[in-house]
Structure 1
Amino acid sequence: MAQPGTRPKATRCGPQQDGQCRDSLDHSRVTTRRHVLLTLLLLVNIDAADWPRWRGPANNGHAPAATPVLSSLPAEPRVRWQVPAGPGLASPVVANGVVLAFDNQDGRETLRALDAQSGGQRWRAAIDEPFSDSQGPTGPRCTPLIDGDRAYAVSCRGELQCRALKDGGLLWRVNYVTNFGATFIGEKGNTPGAARHGNNGSPLVDGDHLIACSGGPNGAGVVCLDKFTGATVWKSLNDMAGYAPPVVAELAGRRQVIVFSADGVVGLDRRDGRELWRVPVKTAFARHVATPVVVGDLVITGSHQSGLLGLRVAPEGSGFRATTVWTNQEAAPNFSSPIAVGDFVYLLGPSKNVICVEAATGTIKWSESGLFTTSADKAFGGFLVVGANILTLTDTGELILFAANPAAYRELGRTQVAGVNWCNPAFADGILYLRDGLKRDGSWRAVVLGE
């Protein structure tokens, strides 16, 4: 929640001002109170229905408590609407009656605001020129986010823009390359992480700040920006960016930003960005994709080469220490992110099997094969938690519902909702918002799962 206090002057910036302010307006005490009230109202709205950012309102893949409980899936789910989608890998988000669809339109990475009820386009805004490589579609790969009356999007090449949710007007912009010195090379040589295949890790809004893995040198590997103005609050690390987004969590009594960079897993002090701990992780091309999950004092993430890692964070003297307490190669994540329910983690394993892992020990409790038909090196599943059950959308567009039960795999239903898919769905108010297709002839669609 945003903390009351003196706000910096609001800005509405032009495309050449790179995060600097123009048309400054005096933020009086009344305006400050309005921001606080708006934040409270937005939290209520999020609790009711919205899925406004990567992996949901809390960035952990859990649907809000008010979401309709799913105990089964319809055999033939009703498609409320669908609209054509251009190439891309960005997932949809929905809040305040708006679905953000980020894809390639007319040769530009383009953010579109669609009406959540009808799919009708409210506005569109070109963000950047597209990026192309041998691994994916020529389109954006970073999921946008909605925060109150603002929308944020990052292009493959590192153009970060904040736009008004109501009409798409540009409020401010920064660029990871020009503002923070990040390197973007493309698919050449041994280039690691986001510098190779483009920015995939969505920024994170926390209170009045937006935190992004910019990948810049000279202490600008991670940046914390004022979400209203784009002004830099703090910068940290020299790490190049991986593909995973940052996560904010309470660990060992300290609120921390957890980053899976091209160099490893790092914990930063949320207040000032100071590095608190680090666990190096080295893999070929720094293919670090899995969003970290936090279970108690454990950070759980990993890659196809490092295996799934359990990292315990604890106070040590005046600082902190992170220790790798377990490693499990048989549960190594590739492109998909794990999800935590209670003391257990569920994920897609290296043999395209769905796995339940005990967080404390890394022990596999069960493994279920046969749910994914794509080759193991390309298999993808988008996992989300709805009540006591888990939904996963496979890379062939099949939706599977199973119980979040560490004792055994128990399937509750499955149904076909799309074709080829490598994007996480959004689930809000009984509607599953997803993208069908990656490169051509795809669509954004809203599928009714619960009335």
Structure 2
Amino acid sequence: MRDASRSIGAVVSCAILVSAACAFADDWPQWRGPNRDGKVTGFTAPETWPKALTQKWKVTVGSGDATPALVGEKLYVFARQGDEEVTLCLDAGSGKQVWKDKYAAQAVTGAARRHPGPRSSPAVAKGKVVTLGVGGVVSCLDAASGKLVWRKDPYPRVVPRFFTAMSPIIIDGMAVAHVGGQGKGAIIAFDLATGEQKWKWAGEGPEYASPTLLTVEGTKQIVTLTEKSVVGIGAADGKLLWQIAFVPRRMAYNAATPIVDGQTVIITGRGRGTKALKIEKEGDGFAAKELWSNPQVAVQFNTPVLKGGLLFGLTDRGNLFCLNARTGKTAWTDTARHGRGFAAVLDAGSAILALPSTSELIAFKPSADGYEEWARIKVAGTPTYAHPVIAGKRIFVRDSDSVTMWTIE
């Protein structure tokens, strides 16, 4: 049970932009960034990394592990204050509050009570902000004013064991969320403007993973880990396109977002290693064929990042690693341990950045030749479970109750 309660923090767990022309280069509008792939744009690593970052502002926002969303100069933060879940819009330059929405939220009980705030990252697109609360409440707000557009609770008080963690995705004018709990749940697409249900797939309930997007031969698919499987769901109509078993055992969870590389989908989970699947058209449907499997390396509470044919992440034991994404072979695993497998891992161009729950931002060389650390900088006084949001030389860090804006000088 003690291990189970530790798992909540990283069961931490937002929206494809409709047009790149309406987005800032440094926007981070959803879980894992503009394309849900953990890739940072507009960041140039310093020639010499400083020993410390410069703090510009720090704001107490409430409890939570949800990564903020940055669009333009607005930072959208999802948190818990007392008995309410709140969405805050902050001015990114100053940290000052622009608007606030709130509603009464379900109490977090059991092993999850150490993390009472939301874990699901907001999604921002088409002038809307979509959130998923710990109790499964889906909300859509006007991004400019904070005015409530709609709010839905499809499975009242039905949640996964450790409450919700998946981050919603906005696609083709729909907000898509995996709601409910074990044995009773569904992936539901809501009309972004009205909240009307567009489609529903009720094959399996959620675990803690967030979906991503895959397109094969013109068919757009929502790919995600469920309570027992990995599935491809038609984005247009919610139909199941393919499914393979991926069952967590003992103290393992389906918490990592699938990694998409063309028609290849990489999945990983404790006790099951890391696997690559090729999604192919087969007759009138689709099939998932295993390309490779590495049973020795797996993550539990982070999603690896793909860069230049290499996969970088943090193992379930807390060691940074590199795999060859084409063969599955382990390139290296560092011996140092960074917490218990909770981390955000990002491709920041010339550097890979990792932020484990130890609150140390780690920069290292993106190479298969071995681990070469460039910097390790303390960025918070409490554990960090959210991703850092990086925009130019600014780094926004969410800790247990605050958001801090740091700069690299």
Q: Could you tell me which of 371, 376, 379 is aligned with 1:417?
A: 379
**Equivalents in 2 of 1:233, 1:70: separation in Å?**
47
Q: CA deviation at 1:95?
A: 1.0
Change (3 A) 1:148 1:318: closer
Question: What SS does structure 2 have at the residue aligned with 1:44?
Answer: helix
Q: Does 2:162 align with 1:203?
A: no
**Equivalents in 1 of 2:398, 2:38: separation in Å?**
17
**Equivalents in 2 of 1:99, 1:423: separation in Å?**
14
**Equivalents in 2 of 1:202, 1:317: separation in Å?**
32
**Equivalents in 2 of 1:282, 1:71: separation in Å?**
44
CA deviation vs aligned residue, 1:246-296 (integer Å, no higher than 9, x gap): 111223553211011002100122221221111111114772100110123
Change (3 A) 1:346 1:418: same
User: What corresponds to 2:235 in structure 1?
Assistant: 270
Contact 1:427 1:433 in 2 (8 A): yes
Q: CA deviation at 1:133?
A: 3.1
Q: Aligned partner of 1:155: which letter?
A: G
Q: Could you tell me which of 135, 141, 164 is aligned with 2:119?
A: 141
Change (3 A) 1:429 1:128: farther
User: What corresponds to 2:264 in structure 1?
Assistant: 298
**Equivalents in 2 of 1:95, 1:106: separation in Å?**
27
Question: 1:31-50 counterparts in 2 under 5 A?
Answer: 40=19, 43-50=20-27
Contact 1:434 1:446 in 2 (8 A): yes
Change (3 A) 1:238 1:39: closer
User: What corresponds to 2:97 in structure 1?
Assistant: 121
Contact 1:308 1:329 in 2 (8 A): yes
Question: What SS does structure 1 have at the residue aligned with 2:244?
Answer: strand
User: What corresponds to 2:4 in structure 1?
Assistant: none
How many residues are paired up? Answer: 389
**Equivalents in 1 of 2:274, 2:34: separation in Å?**
25
In percent, how many aligned pairs have the same letter? 28
**Equivalents in 1 of 2:393, 2:71: separation in Å?**
14
Q: Does 2:222 align with 1:257?
A: yes
Q: CA deviation at 1:220?
A: 6.4
Question: What SS does structure 1 have at the residue aligned with 2:296?
Answer: helix
Question: 1:382-393 counterparts in 2 under 5 A?
Answer: 382-393=344-355
User: What corresponds to 1:333 in structure 2?
Assistant: 299
Q: Could you tell me which of 422, 428, 431 is aligned with 2:391?
A: 428
**Equivalents in 1 of 2:57, 2:126: separation in Å?**
24
Contact 1:245 1:260 in 2 (8 A): yes
Q: CA deviation at 1:68?
A: 3.6
Question: What SS does structure 1 have at the residue aligned with 2:199?
Answer: strand
User: What corresponds to 1:101 in structure 2?
Assistant: 77
Contact 1:218 1:237 in 2 (8 A): no
Question: 1:163-242 counterparts in 2 under 5 A?
Answer: 163-178=141-156, 184=158, 194-215=159-180, 221-242=186-207
User: What corresponds to 1:381 in structure 2?
Assistant: 343
Question: Where does the alignment leave 5 or more consecutive residues of structure 1 unmatched?
Answer: 1-37, 185-193
CA deviation vs aligned residue, 1:392-441 (integer Å, no higher than 9, x gap): 112111111112222322222221111311111111232111112x3xxx
The alignment yields a C-alpha RMSD, in angstroms, of: 2.3
**Equivalents in 1 of 2:360, 2:290: separation in Å?**
35
**Equivalents in 1 of 2:287, 2:166: separation in Å?**
25
**Equivalents in 2 of 1:222, 1:39: separation in Å?**
21
- Whichever of the two has the greater Rg, that structure is 1
Question: What SS does structure 1 have at the residue aligned with 2:23?
Answer: helix
Q: Could you tell me which of 73, 78, 88 is aligned with 2:64?
A: 88
TM-score by length of 1: 0.81
Contact 1:128 1:155 in 2 (8 A): no
Q: Could you tell me which of 262, 281, 284 is aligned with 2:246?
A: 281
Q: Could you tell me which of 305, 310, 317 is aligned with 2:276?
A: 310
TM-score by length of 2: 0.89
**Equivalents in 1 of 2:286, 2:117: separation in Å?**
40
Q: Aligned partner of 2:365: which letter?
A: A
Q: CA deviation at 1:219?
A: 10
CA deviation vs aligned residue, 1:314-344 (integer Å, no higher than 9, x gap): 2222221112333323211111111111322
Contact 1:244 1:291 in 2 (8 A): yes
CA deviation vs aligned residue, 1:202-231 (integer Å, no higher than 9, x gap): 110123222211247999611122212212
CA deviation vs aligned residue, 1:371-394 (integer Å, no higher than 9, x gap): 51x2xxx33111111113211112
Question: Where does the alignment leave 5 or more consecutive residues of structure 2 unmatched?
Answer: 1-16
Q: Does 2:328 align with 1:362?
A: yes
Contact 1:276 1:319 in 2 (8 A): yes
Q: Aligned partner of 1:173: which letter?
A: R
Q: Aligned partner of 2:212: which letter?
A: V
User: What corresponds to 1:352 in structure 2?
Assistant: 318
Contact 2:24 2:71 in 1 (8 A): no
